Amino acid sequence: MTRPVTRWPVAVLGATGAVGQAFIRLLEGHPWFDLVEVAASERSAGKRYASATRWLEGTLPSAVAELEVLACTPDKVKAPIVFSALDSSVAGEVEAAFAGAGRLVLSNAKNYRMESDVPLVIPEVNGDHLALLTQQRANRGWPGGIVTNANCAVTVAAMALAPLHHAFGVRKVFITTLQAVSGAGYPGVPSLDILGNVIPYIGDEEPKIETELAKLLGTYDGEMIVPAPIVTSAHANRVAVEHGHTVCLSVAFERAPTPEEALATLQTWTGFAAVQGLPSAPVPPLIVRDEQDRPQARRDVNAGNGMAVTIGRVRADNLFDLRLVALSHNVVRGAAGGSILNAELLVATGQLDGLTAS
């Protein structure tokens, strides 16, 4: 594992929003990364960060509070590593500009996830897919690059399914999501729409779940990702929970495991070897509960500092082979923390060698 001699300077784009704030919280005191720049929309540019944002959780780090908010352009933001919390309506053009200017962009937006030469990565699941960066740079002429996070609900499902897929071959997945209101950003869903209610629709969510899972669980053949032969049917629901996406999965396999075999596989899984020991990597990545009523968002969302996935109710299924429930923190593992872990893996595997600030 390559450990940096000095801390890498990093920036956050979209720093005033909920995910941008999560980046700031998670980067405070990080052993490998030093947050030196924050950027946001033109209406915030030029202001002190503390004046430009409404801070949502915990205490705003004093050093960040005094930073000037920059415009989201590579001539203003100089850090070589850029964490993007930009909305998809603007992320595509902005992130490409940074990659073209030689920066490594860790993106939470959907824009590039399904591009054939862009890594869609959950480090424990498919850390080897980062090798696509070489192909991406050759195809696009970018000296930098873009690495994307998965959708926050897909992240939970993929973490739970990865060890089972490797052992038994997932073929069909029926998934129902119960997604926290923080997944809608801030101010998000109006209180009179969500309190005492379940909203059985989240825009664009079901197609993301149904397409991203096959890419995440696919294999890198040295040139491209060969998607896993998985058919997914998804129902996405918004529920009155602050943090924590719960997914209920019914799964059909090439070789059906017993619940006992599945439990043993989940309990012993450690994921992609190079992830072990990284600063943000949870140990273990999967926490398997045997109580009949777990996982629960209130009790399990912060497991592994918000980076672990908690799994329970592993049992036989009447339609398919197996069913289970999984949960994780949508803003930490499913967004900012996932991007930071991607960046740590890039550092640890030497894939940022030669990247410098302009």
Residues with a catalytic annotation lie at 152, 245
Closest CA to 133 of 111, 158, 102: 102
Distance CA 358, CA 348 (A): 22
- Residues 28, 321: Cα–Cα separation, whole Å: 44
> Of 160, 149, 178, 187, nearest to 333 (Cα)?
149
**φ/ψ (deg, to 5) at 288:** -100, 120
199 CB-contact burial (10 Å; exposed 0-12 / middle 13-18 / buried 19+) = middle
d(C-alpha 311, C-alpha 293), whole Å: 11
At residue 107, φ and ψ (nearest 5 deg) are -105, 140
Q: How far apart are CA 61 and CA 307, in angstroms?
A: 21
Cβ 146 vs Cβ 95: under 8 Å: yes
Map tokens 């996932």 to a residue: 338
Provide the pairing of β-strand 231-239 with 198-199.
Answer: antiparallel
Q: Which residues, at least 6 apart from 238, have a Cβ–Cβ distance to it below 8 Å?
A: 179, 181, 183, 184, 189, 194, 198, 199, 201, 202
Q: Are 180 and 139 a contacting pair, CB within 8 Å? A: no
Identify the three-state secondary structure at position 314. Answer: strand
